[in-house]
Structure formats: structure tokens, C-alpha cells
Structure 1
């Protein structure tokens, strides 16, 4: 019985030692990477939504934006390469290739014909005009 108790007492130690052992190298890519998702700022005025999405290091041709009613999807191909050398000897080389995406819904449908997207220094700016609600027209019955 004591044997079982002693082994149970050591398990948390081994859990801490090996916890994330095979996952940690992915975190070496850097804190500014997109593996954790696309960060957004959303602002609203009477006529439109303005969205700023952080996409550091992503070329504008690698970004896709889709608008369907009030649903907005942003996706991007992410390519990161890092190499550290000491003279001619490579000490470390890391590569990350992948796709990130973020989908969200807005309270009002978007007028796709007036929507714009610009990428500048790692920030995607979307201006999404609100679709005007169809006005009610009263008909006179003859």
C-alpha cells in the first residue's frame, strides 16, 4: 500500500518535467507569430464597421477576406523562417508554414459592394459599410 502512495507522490514531478515536452519547440517561433490567432480591433459608427486585423509579416497577396451577409472571414498563409549562424556554422534553423483564419459575425449585414480592404505594415484594415435596411413602402389599395 505504501508503495502505491510513494509512486503517486512522484507522478506530479514527472508530469511537470515532461508536460509539453513535445510541444515546446513550436513556441520558439516567437510571440509575434500568428499561431495563436488573428487579433482584431472592431470599431463601429452609424454607417460602417472598421476592422484592424494584425497579420505581421504576411504579404497582401497571401490574405483572403470573405464577406457573406454579416459573417466575415479572414485567412492568411503564414511563412516564417529563422536561421542563426556563428560564422559558417548553423546553430539553429526554424521554419513555420501554415494557415491561420478568423471568422466572426457582425450585428448587421454588410454592403459588399462598398467594402474595402487594405494591408499596411502587418495590419489589415477592413471598412465594411452597413447594408441599409429596406425601407417600408406603403401601398395604397385601390
Structure 2
């Protein structure tokens, strides 16, 4: 992430000549902090295992009451809502990469799934969503009738 942040701020930078000093210079001089961009989107992995799709997302520090999972036959949405206690006013971040607020992610699924048989669980900070593939296709051929009849 830090590399992506550096290159976004320094488009002329060459990855073969990057030095730690170059990265340090991207740190905000006024606040002397470095934050990672795009942290409001929840990262996740999606794999196919036999006749099911499995999504895994790291959701550290949340409990099951902070998480909502919504599925349709072709889309998955995961939302995590949490908060962070206010820190000591004397604290000053040098690096702030952790996302403590709300995270959300919606992805289109590559295969149709059965929402009624989908299950989600949270174990050791990893949300796992098991989505069985739909047994039948929802495609239907509609016959065209002649209006003259």
C-alpha cells in the first residue's frame, strides 16, 4: 500500500531507483504522518472450491453484531460498522494505516449462487462466506406467440 501511495504522489518515480528517503519525503510534512489511501473498501478473497464460492475477508476487532452480509444470486455485499475510541490528545500518529470505521464491499459474483444456502462465520478475525452454486440456471426461453390468434 505504501508503494502505491508513493507512486500516486510521485508519478515520475522509477521503481528501480526508489529509496527509503524517497518514501520518507512523501510523508506529510505538516502533520508528519503517512496514511494509506483507499482504506474504506474492505479487502477480500473470492475462490471457487468445487460446487461453491468462498469469500474470505479480514475483519479484525469486530464482532458478529458489527457485520452484515447480503447476497443475491449474482452479488455479494459485506459491511462492517465499528468505531474507535478517541485517543489521548497528546498522541500523535506517525503512521496511520488501520481502518477503524465502517468498511464496505460489493462484488459481482462470477457464477450464480443459492442465497438460501449461503452461510457466513467469523473466526479469529476472518469472515468466511460459503456460497453454494445455484443448481439450476435462471435462464428461461419464452415462446413468441402470434397476436393474430
1:53 lines up with 2:57 in the alignment: yes
User: Cα gap change, 1:18/1:50 in structure 2, threshold over 3 Å: closer, same or farther?
Assistant: closer
Q: Which has the higher helix share?
A: 1
1:62 lines up with 2:62 in the alignment: no
Does structure 1 conserve the Cα–Cα contact (< 8 Å) formed by 2:40 and 2:104? no
Give secondary structure in 1 for the equivalent of 2:39.
coil
Aligned positions, number: 110
**In structure 2, distance between residues paired with 1:100 and 1:112:** 22
Q: Which position in structure 1 is the counterpart of 2:14?
A: none
**How far did residue 110 of structure 1 move?**
1.3
Q: Which position in structure 2 is the counterpart of 1:91?
A: 90
TM score, norm. by length of structure 2? 0.58
1:127 lines up with 2:130 in the alignment: yes
User: Cα gap change, 1:59/1:40 in structure 2, threshold over 3 Å: closer, same or farther?
Assistant: same
Match 1:74 to one of 78, 81, 93: 78
For residues 27-38 of structure 1, the aligned pairs below 5 Å read 27=35, 35-38=39-42
RMSD: 3.5
Q: Which has the higher strand share?
A: 1
Which structure 1 residue ranges, 5 or more long, are not aligned?
A: 1-16, 85-89, 137-142
Which structure 2 residue ranges, 5 or more long, are not aligned?
A: 1-24, 94-98, 140-149
Please say which structure displays the higher CA radius of gyration.
1
TM score, norm. by length of structure 1? 0.61
**In structure 2, distance between residues paired with 1:108 and 1:18:** 42
**How far did residue 75 of structure 1 move?**
0.6
